């Protein structure tokens, strides 16, 4: 059984570790995917800003700004080869924009117009603006590029602080740094982006999946921990069951042995002829049978109260008189001293006399059992707000802090040193708690090893 439980615990531990590893990897992978998508978004914004930069700093030809956009083209006729060279692109003022292997000697030229469709207008404008910017050879204006880049980031919902840095052709961007070449730069410069608070931004973007993952981890771990607690509780109950079987076996064996010896004495040794011996043996047998009958009744009563079968019998009683009668029954014992103090403002209380009698008798009996010296017990009653309470204080061996939470559990017995031989089934305090609960009361205990134990029972007034 223990080996099976160990195997279950090992399997549960492996499962918990597996869930933690998988969920951690999933969250990490989600974060890295988000980081890659974020970098791609920023890089695309940078590309678009660089494409739009020439349009912001260069003036386009008139033809590309008119309602019917066009490109002016000049065809140059070569004198010696008598053929038309590829067109050369001119601005409105006649400045040569693009020059291709032209022969400086020509006999004439002709001007033609190339219409530009609206669908291709932006691409042509960017191309022309880029050519003009490249031909002018001006230094990149970082303020303009920063303004364009900021606008593009805002369009994509990114408002992080950033800084653009121009890198020369000899400088290389660091690993993972977002950068792009500048196609219209004659020095092959690059522009790099330095973003701030990216981790916080990415964390905010991925907080949903992370929280879901954390919730799954907590639920999975909680279920496994709860299962472990249940298994541990079952093991404890199994141990308590075994202890109960051992205790009841011992408790039954003793009276059986007495009954056997008494009967054998009457049967085999002629005690039947001696009237005094016969009466003495029969009285012993009746006393033993009476105790067995009471123990059986107690076990049955516990079952009845657990299932709510036994009804309560409320009546007005003089509580001082009831408790003094209980103490009187124990006064014949020479190893026991009981003191009673009453601080009740109302001596007439509506309650079940049988239950009060049974509770106090059980607590006094326990105090005597678990005492290594003549027992001294103090019973105190007092008024408590809209109710009343009973305190039973003894000078016994006490109960350790570890055992206090379990003493009211069924079959639970505190094992300590030579006290394993204390008679009982482990039902006394469990039965006491059930009786008190049936009267809507509560019971608690305070104890210290070697000093004694105090039981506090509280009841609400019954109308």
- Residue 295 confidence class, pLDDT cut points 50, 70, 90: low
* pTM for this predicted structure: 0.45
* Whole-angstrom distance, CA of residue 353 vs CA of residue 295: 20
Looking at residue 406, the DSSP 8-state letter turns out to be G
> Cβ–Cβ contacts within 10 Å for residue 428, how many?
18
Instruction: Give the pLDDT of residue 454.
Output: 93
Instruction: Evaluate if residue 463 carries a pLDDT over 80.
Output: no
Q: Helix 428-438 crosses helix 275-306 at what angle (to 10 degrees)?
A: 50
Distances (CA, A) of 32 to 22, 205, 214, 316: 15, 12, 18, 76
Helices (H) and strands (E) in the chain, counts: 9, 13
Average pLDDT over residues 257-269: 74
Which of 105-119, 229-243, 279-293, 422-436 holds the top average pLDDT?
A: 279-293
Q: Reduced to 3 states, what is the DSSP secondary structure of residue 453?
A: strand
Instruction: Evaluate if residue 106 carries a pLDDT over 90.
Output: no
- Residue 324 confidence class, pLDDT cut points 50, 70, 90: very high
Q: Reduced to 3 states, what is the DSSP secondary structure of residue 65?
A: coil
* Whole-angstrom distance, CA of residue 272 vs CA of residue 280: 11
Instruction: Give the pLDDT of residue 111.
Output: 65
Instruction: Evaluate if residue 462 carries a pLDDT over 80.
Output: no
Instruction: Give the pLDDT of residue 251.
Output: 61
Q: Which of 216-220, 272-276, 400-404, 448-452 has the lowest mean pLDDT?
A: 272-276
Greater pLDDT, 371 or 243: 371
Of 102, 95, 169, residue with least CA distance to 132? 95
- What is the percent of the chain where pLDDT is above 90? 12
pLDDT tens-digit profile of 226-250? 877 887 777 777 766 776 676 666 6
Greater pLDDT, 414 or 441: 441
Average pLDDT over residues 269-297: 75
Locate the DSSP E strands across 63-218: 70-78, 88-89, 106-115, 162-167, 178-181, 190-195
Distances (CA, A) of 89 to 54, 84, 97, 439, 460: 17, 15, 5, 106, 104
Greater pLDDT, 275 or 423: 275
Contact 252, 288 (CB under 8 A): no
Domains and CATH numbers, the chain: 2-61+123-205 (no CATH), 70-115 (no CATH), 207-306 (1.10.287.130), 315-460 (3.30.565.10)
Instruction: Evaluate if residue 458 carries a pLDDT over 90.
Output: yes
Tell me the CA end-to-end span of the chain in Å, nearest whole number. Answer: 52
pLDDT tens-digit profile of 176-207? 788 888 887 767 788 888 888 888 888 888 78
Instruction: Evaluate if residue 46 carries a pLDDT over 80.
Output: yes
Strand-pair partners of 50: none
Cα-atom radius of gyration of the chain, to the nearest Å? 49
Instruction: Evaluate if residue 447 carries a pLDDT over 70.
Output: yes
Contact 451, 381 (CB under 8 A): no
Contact 401, 268 (CB under 8 A): no
Of 53, 94, 103, 44, residue with least CA distance to 72? 94
Q: Torsion over CA of 217, 219, 225 and 229, rounded to 10 degrees?
A: 180
């Amino acid at each position: 059984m223990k080996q099976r439980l160990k195997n279950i615990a090992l399997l549960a531990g492996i499962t918990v570790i597996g869930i933690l590893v998988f969920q951690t990897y999933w969250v990490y992978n989600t974060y890295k995917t988000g980081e890659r998508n974020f970098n791609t978004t920023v890089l695309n914004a940078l590309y678009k800003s660089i494409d739009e930069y020439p349009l912001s700093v260069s003036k386009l030809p008139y033809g590309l700004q008119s309602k019917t956009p066009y490109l002016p083209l000049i065809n140059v006729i070569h004198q010696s080869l008598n053929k038309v060279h590829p067109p050369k692109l001119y601005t409105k003022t006649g400045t040569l924009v693009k020059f291709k292997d032209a022969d400086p000697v020509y006999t004439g030229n002709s001007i033609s117009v190339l219409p530009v469709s609206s669908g291709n207008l932006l691409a042509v404008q960017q191309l022309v603006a880029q050519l003009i910017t490249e031909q002018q050879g001006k230094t990149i204006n970082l303020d303009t590029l920063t303004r364009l880049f900021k606008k593009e980031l805002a369009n994509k919902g990114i408002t992080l602080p950033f800084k653009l840095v121009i890198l020369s052709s000899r400088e290389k961007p660091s690993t993972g740094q977002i950068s792009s070449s500048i196609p219209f730069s004659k020095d092959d410069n690059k522009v790099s982006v330095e973003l701030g608070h990216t981790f916080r931004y990415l964390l905010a973007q991925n907080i949903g999946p992370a929280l879901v993952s954390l919730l799954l981890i907590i639920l999975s771990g909680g279920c496994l921990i709860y299962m472990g607690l249940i298994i541990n509780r079952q093991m404890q109950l199994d141990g308590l069951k075994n202890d109960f079987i051992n205790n009841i076996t011992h408790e039954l064996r003793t009276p059986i042995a007495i009954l056997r010896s008494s009967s054998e004495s009457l049967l085999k040794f002629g005690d039947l002829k001696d009237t005094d011996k016969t009466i003495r043996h029969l009285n012993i047998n009746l006393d033993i049978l009476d105790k067995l009958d009471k123990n059986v009744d107690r076990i049955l009563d516990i079952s009845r109260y657990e299932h709510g079968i036994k009804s309560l019998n409320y009546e007005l009683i003089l509580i001082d008189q009831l408790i003094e009668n209980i103490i009187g029954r124990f006064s014949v014992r020479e190893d026991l001293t009981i003191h009673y103090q009453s601080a009740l403002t109302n001596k007439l209380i509506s309650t079940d006399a049988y239950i009060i009698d049974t509770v106090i008798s059980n607590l006094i009996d326990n105090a005597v059992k678990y005492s290594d010296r003549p027992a001294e017990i103090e019973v105190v009653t007092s008024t408590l707000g809209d109710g009343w309470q009973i305190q039973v204080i003894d000078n016994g061996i006490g109960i350790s802090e570890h055992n206090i939470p379990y003493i009211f559990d069924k079959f639970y017995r505190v094992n300590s040193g030579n006290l394993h031989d204390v008679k009982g089934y482990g039902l006394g305090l469990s039965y006491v708690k059930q009786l008190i609960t049936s009267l809507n009361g509560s019971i608690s205990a305070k104890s210290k090893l070697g000093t004694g134990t105090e039981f506090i029972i509280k009841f609400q007034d019954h109308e």
